[in-house]
Amino acid sequence: MIGFMTRLRTWLLIAALSALLVAIGFLLGGSYIYLFLGLAVAMNFFSYFFSDKLALASSRARPISQAQAPELYADIRELTQRAGLPMPRVYMTPAQQPNAFATGRNPSHAAVAVTQGLVQLMPREQVKGVLAHELSHVKNHDILVSSIAAMIGTVITWLSYMFMFFGGDDNNSPLGGIGSLAALIVGPLAATLLQLGISRQREYLADASGARLLGRAAPLADALESLERAGQSIPMQVNPATESLYIANPLSARGMSKLFSTHPPIEERVRRLRAMDAEHAIG
């Protein structure tokens, strides 16, 4: 049931983001609507097969071998065996901020990327908690939606800013310059809200699934607290449209920006995880 609902949300998000692209074309007027319709079709095809490669390339991730990271491989192999998953491809990014993400279109084509800071700065038990969370994304079949949403969100933002400078065809556009301005403002905002609507729930689900995969929630709860502290002291440069891929928001979110974060508050995630252990202890 969880797998079916996740796949349903995936296709609903793809349809919504595709419709947003077409709507931007309509606002710009003229032949742009046909251009953006074709772009939506091409992007869905490209996103399905290549969004993981784009996500890995944008984070400067490189494949890492078992000889280079034997403990990392051992923990991933143990967790995948427990979860009944195939072994994913393993990557490492040069970022010093502890963090990680999973990507790919399905469990057979999955990749897990960890930052250099994660394996260097955090205890192995907490790293294992992070891995359990990311592998739960794989098991729950929601790595595709996050990868596609990140890619399409990036393109919508880029196109909106591009048309701020070049504008639409005012002679044919029903809204002229107002349409271009609306595309600039509404496009990126709508893309963010669409990602936000799904990303927060999938993070809660992956936390709970990761805790069950570990057999207890404490390692993941401790890891989330460590990630939050590190995120406040160690900056990380990422495309804002790809932040939803990571287990913890790699960008500093303060004040009003928290309202538009694709991640739920760390405090709430930790509270739910601690409650899982408490319920198990009581039971």
SS3 assignment, position 88: coil
High-pLDDT (> 70) share of the chain, %: 65
User: Based on the structure, what is the number of domains in the chain?
Assistant: 1
Q: In the annotation, is 203 catalytic? A: no
Band the pLDDT of 50: cuts 50, 70, 90: confident
Residue that is written with structure tokens 């710009």 in the block: 28
Residues recorded for the chain = 283
Which residues span the domain enclosing 256?
2-282
Confidence check: pLDDT of 135 > 50:
yes
Of the listed 71, 125, 134, 243, which one is catalytic? 134
Residue that is written with structure tokens 């804002």 in the block: 240
Confidence check: pLDDT of 155 > 60:
yes
Read off the pLDDT of residues 263-277 as tens digits, 9 standing for 90 and up: 889 999 999 999 999
Nearest residue to 207 via CA among 146, 122, 115, 274:
274
Stretch among 40-49, 75-84, 216-225 having the lowest mean pLDDT: 40-49
Average pLDDT estimate for 243-255:
77
Distances (CA, A) of 13 to 17, 22, 48, 185: 6, 14, 13, 20
Continuous H helices in 29-123: 32-58, 70-83, 116-121
Positive or negative: CA dihedral 243, 248, 254, 259: positive
More confident residue, 98 or 55: 98
Tell me what pLDDT residue 145 has.
72
Average pLDDT estimate for 3-24:
66
The predicted model scores a pTM of 0.78
Average pLDDT estimate for 75-87:
97
- H or E element that contains 63: strand 62-63
Contact residues for 178 (Cβ-Cβ < 8 A; gap 6+): none
Tell me what pLDDT residue 9 has.
64
| CB of 66 closer than 8 Å to CB of 48 | no
Positive or negative: CA dihedral 56, 54, 234, 132: negative
Tell me what pLDDT residue 154 has.
66
Band the pLDDT of 65: cuts 50, 70, 90: very high
